[in-house]
């Protein structure tokens, strides 16, 4: 926890050593948008005070293999007086995702998995449950 906000990270133990998939920032943003569009509307309608961001790299203290990061207070932990606060943040990291993927199809799949994984944290679902569901 930092400043009363929970941080939940999505990372991979080993990055693919074959190089970086050539997907520019605009195309990567489109992949994230498509992944968000794939989330059922009944779930996105329940998301409260959260923003999805894209960054090239995670902060140096977070590790180079971090694909996504949820920073905030999960919905399950918010009290009745929750308001007037900055939005929770979901950040998807382009560099590690493209270094991890072997090809464009795998990059698309990893973006989808990471987006769903971080949204699930917003709903209070922990890493153990996500791994069991295949979103680890």
For the chain, the domains span 22-77+84-132
Contact (Cβ atoms closer than 8 angstroms) between residue 47 and residue 73: no
In Å, what is the CA distance from 8 to each residue of 3, 40, 110?
A: 14, 22, 17
Chain segment 30-67, per-residue pLDDT in tens:
999 999 999 999 989 989 889 999 999 998 888 888 99
Neighbours of 78 (CB within 10 A): 16
Let me know if domain 22-77+84-132 sits in CATH 3.30.2010.20: yes
Query: Does the global pTM surpass 0.85?
Result: no
Chain segment 78-125, per-residue pLDDT in tens:
877 767 778 999 999 999 999 999 899 999 999 999 999 999 999 998
Neighbours of 114 (CB within 10 A): 27
């Amino acid at each position: 926890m930092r400043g009363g906000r929970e941080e939940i990270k999505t990372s991979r133990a080993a990055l693919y050593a074959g190089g970086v998939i050539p997907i520019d920032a605009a195309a990567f943003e489109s992949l994230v948008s498509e992944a968000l569009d794939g989330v059922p509307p009944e779930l996105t309608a329940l998301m409260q005070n959260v923003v999805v961001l894209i960054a090239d790299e995670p902060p140096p203290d977070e590790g180079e293999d971090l694909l996504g990061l949820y920073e905030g207070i999960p919905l399950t932990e918010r009290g009745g007086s929750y308001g007037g606060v900055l939005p929770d943040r979901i950040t998807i990291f382009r560099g590690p995702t493209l270094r991890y993927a072997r090809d464009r199809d795998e990059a698309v799949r990893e973006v989808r998995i990471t987006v769903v994984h971080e949204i699930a944290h917003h709903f209070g679902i922990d890493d153990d449950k996500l791994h069991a569901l295949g979103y680890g």
